[in-house]
């Protein structure tokens, strides 16, 4: 179920200081923006497991921190720290920390021809999972890149990476997985936006796609001097291995900080 949130005003007499709600909304739509943000993304997935009665919850803590390298280049650090719960594993329910995914993007500060914004660098898979059902048991690395264009209210782009395992438990299956994440968002003004993304992954070991399609709406607001964004949305799994969920809900609370 998709819900649209109205503009939130904590103090009716307050006036947004720079950057404005619309500026922050546009920066959040850009994975390479010079904005420190800490999204807390909650994913609720339903109809999983062999009996299609299972439930999964995942909290992804995703800090994004840009660093100025010089007058022309930024380095953007993007980390995903997953905390997961599943009630449909063969041994019953499990919960704990999953594998951490960390990316570094080298990105020019100025957009290229046609307004192209891009970044590229390495991605790392760290075997931090506290349960074998929540992680790969492997160290992994590979390349990652993102490219997008922002024109007026629209942001259109795609992020991709590929990870190969390079070390880890010999009893666990090797990792060779690709991520392709096209995304588009539209800003309605007053800090409101709608986004669509396809977080498709392909497991080259199992020859299997997992394709959740996500649709969400967001609202930027402030509480005192703290800028935040709240997103509500839903997802549909167009493809996936046997036992994967059929649909889910997503909420994301993002804290934003000036550099």
Dump pLDDT digits (tens) for 240-250: 999 999 999 99
Q: What is the pLDDT of residue 1?
A: 34
What's the structural domain count of the chain? 1
Domain residues for the domain of 119 are 21-257
Q: Is residue 10 part of a domain?
A: no
Computed from CA positions of residues 126, 129, 135, 136, in that sequence, does the dihedral angle turn out positive or negative? Answer: positive
Q: How far apart are CA 203 and CA 215, in angstroms?
A: 24
Q: What is the pLDDT of residue 6?
A: 37
CATH of the domain at 227: 2.40.160.40
> 3-class SS at 16?
coil
Q: Is residue 13 part of a domain?
A: no
Q: Is residue 29 part of a domain?
A: yes
Q: What is the pLDDT of residue 90?
A: 84
Q: What is the pLDDT of residue 218?
A: 97
Q: Is residue 4 part of a domain?
A: no
Nearest alpha carbon to residue 148 among 114, 180, 123: 114
Q: Is residue 27 part of a domain?
A: yes
Q: What is the pLDDT of residue 114?
A: 87
Q: Is residue 138 part of a domain?
A: yes
Task: Report residues of the chain scoring pLDDT below 70.
Answer: 1-18
Residue 181: burial class (beta carbons within 10 Å; 0-12, 13-18, 19+): middle
Q: What is the pLDDT of residue 123?
A: 98
Q: Is residue 15 part of a domain?
A: no
Q: Is residue 135 part of a domain?
A: yes
């Amino acid at each position: 179920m998709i819900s649209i949130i109205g503009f939130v005003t904590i103090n009716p007499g307050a006036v947004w200081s720079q950057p404005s709600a619309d500026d922050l909304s546009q920066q959040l739509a850009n994975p390479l923006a010079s904005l420190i943000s800490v999204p807390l993304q909650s994913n609720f997935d339903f109809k999983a497991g062999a009996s299609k009665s299972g439930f999964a919850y995942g909290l992804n803590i995703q800090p994004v921190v840009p660093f100025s390298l010089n007058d022309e280049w930024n380095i953007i650090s993007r980390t995903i720290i997953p905390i997961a719960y599943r009630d449909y594993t063969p041994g019953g329910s499990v919960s704990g920390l999953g594998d951490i995914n960390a990316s570094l993007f080298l990105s020019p500060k100025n957009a290229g021809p046609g307004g192209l914004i891009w970044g590229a660098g390495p991605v790392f898979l760290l075997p931090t999972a506290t349960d074998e059902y929540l992680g790969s048991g492997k160290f992994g690395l590979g390349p990652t890149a993102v490219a997008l264009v922002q024109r007026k209210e629209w942001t259109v782009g795609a992020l991709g990476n590929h990870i190969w395992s390079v070390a880890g438990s010999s009893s666990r299956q090797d990792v060779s997985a690709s991520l392709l994440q096209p995304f588009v968002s539209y800003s309605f003004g007053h800090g409101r936006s709608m986004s669509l993304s396809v977080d498709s992954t392909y497991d080259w070991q199992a020859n299997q796609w997992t394709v959740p399609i996500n649709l969400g709406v967001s609202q930027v607001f402030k509480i005192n001097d703290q800028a935040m964004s709240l997103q509500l949305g839903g997802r549909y799994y167009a493809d996936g291995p046997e036992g994967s969920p059929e649909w889910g809900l997503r909420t994301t609370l993002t804290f934003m900080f000036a550099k």
